[in-house]
Amino acid sequence: MNERRTAINLGLTWLLVATGLRVTLLAPEVCPPLSADGALAAAGAAAEWIAVNQSPDGTFLYEIDRVTGAPSGGYNLVRHAGTTMSLYQVVRHGDPADADRLLAAADLALGSMLDRVVPTADGASAWGDDGADLKLGAAALLAVSLLDRRAITADITHDGLLVKLGRFMAGQQLADGSMLDAWDRATAAPDPAVRSRYATGEALWALALLHETLPGEGFDRVAWRTLDYLSTRRDEVEGLSPRPWPDQWAAYSLEAMGDWGLEDHHIAYARALSGQFGVGIRWDSQRSGIGTVTHPPEPRGAGFGTVLEGSSMLQRLATDDLRLADLADPLADRVVCGAARLAAAQTTGDGAGPTEAGAWFRDGITRMDDQQHAASAMLWTAALIARSGP
């Protein structure tokens, strides 16, 4: 081959490679600006959506199609507990102007849970609908809600219930640290057949926070067993993928237990989780222009919110633990970038009705946990930006 033809071949190769990569793997990562105030405003608007669309019985608007205006028929008690928790988080960490109203909404939702608390075993309690099995995740997020409320109001009247919820969660634990998701009312015992990829981490986090607030109940020993399980065996035993399964509740737990003396395998797990979350945020940040086609799917508030929640918690852990120090800055970059993109996707403006303003829609549909997870993520991002300075 002569020199001219060789040069033309090289040029064509470059054209193909450069163009192909630029619209796929090397699509630019686009990160709009976001201030701490902007993140807090997004969290506040999400909390507003939750509170405005609450029913007098304490339940929230579960899901709605903005095109038809029709709400869906279902409801999920674990998500109810999680959404209540996020309202308390916004009041506690978000400094909203209408804190009293949001607190009242959270208390109303809390009341609907407290009305359904039932004893399960000696000194243990959980909550759920009459006749239905009791869920580990629902108990865990009720416990976290109560802990946030306790921090806001200094009201300790529910401390007895907190201990009972902790005992219920401990009772769902197996010897290897895994957790059973359901408590069967018919057998009055944990159902050995039901596990949840979410509830184990939720319970671990709740147990860790319970130990921080009410030490002496032994919840730390329960938490260590489950953290070991999540760090080393969970994905294989429960057949989860990708591995490690990007579990933001585990990230919350690692952050909560960060000063308990994490071992190297916990740190390795935190590092691997950080990678999963980081890649998710990078992938989404490449969704602009033609990148919207080459980087599917469009994330929903709940899914992307959990990625940001997990990343935020691991960023805090990386700031405090020298073994992860190299991840602190990259994680901070990813969190702020991802949160900025999420904030930009929030429905705002005067034209938005009460079922739209403050919400995140995908394919015209929003569900209450879209607002729950996005609000939490915005709170932690605001704190991160504030810590980092202007």
The footprint of other proteins (CB under 8 A) covers 1-4, 6-7, 10, 13-14, 17-18, 21, 25-30, 272, 274-279, 282, 286, 327, 330-331, 333-334
Residue with smaller CB distance to other proteins, 63 or 309? 309
- Min dist. Cβ of residue 169 to other proteins (A): 31
- Min dist. Cβ of residue 17 to other proteins (A): 4
CB 227 within 8 A of CB 253: yes
Question: Coil, helix or strand for 67?
Answer: coil
Contact residues for 307 (Cβ-Cβ < 8 A; gap 6+): 246, 248, 277, 280, 281, 299, 338
Cα angle 142, 147, 152; round to 5? 125
Give the single-character DSSP code of 316: H
- Min dist. Cβ of residue 93 to other proteins (A): 24
Q: Are strands 365-367 and 189-190 parallel, antiparallel or unpaired?
A: unpaired
Residue with smaller CB distance to other proteins, 307 or 368? 307
Give the single-character DSSP code of 207: H
CB 172 within 8 A of CB 195: no
Residue with smaller CB distance to other proteins, 76 or 232? 232
- Min dist. Cβ of residue 389 to other proteins (A): 21
Question: Coil, helix or strand for 187?
Answer: coil
Residue with smaller CB distance to other proteins, 252 or 277? 277
CB 305 within 8 A of CB 373: yes
Residue with smaller CB distance to other proteins, 12 or 293? 12
CB 46 within 8 A of CB 374: yes
Residue with smaller CB distance to other proteins, 116 or 271? 271
- Min dist. Cβ of residue 296 to other proteins (A): 17
CA distance 337 to 277: 13
Residue with smaller CB distance to other proteins, 30 or 365? 30
CA distance 167 to 325: 35
The DSSP-derived string for 13-72 is: HHHHHHHHHHTTTTPPPP-----HHHHHHHHHHHHHHHHHTB-TTSPBP-EEETTT-PBP
Residue type, 188: A
- Min dist. Cβ of residue 14 to other proteins (A): 6
- Min dist. Cβ of residue 227 to other proteins (A): 21
- Min dist. Cβ of residue 334 to other proteins (A): 6
Q: Is 239 exposed, middle or buried (0-12, 13-18, 19+ CB in 10 A)?
A: exposed
Residue with smaller CB distance to other proteins, 221 or 243? 243
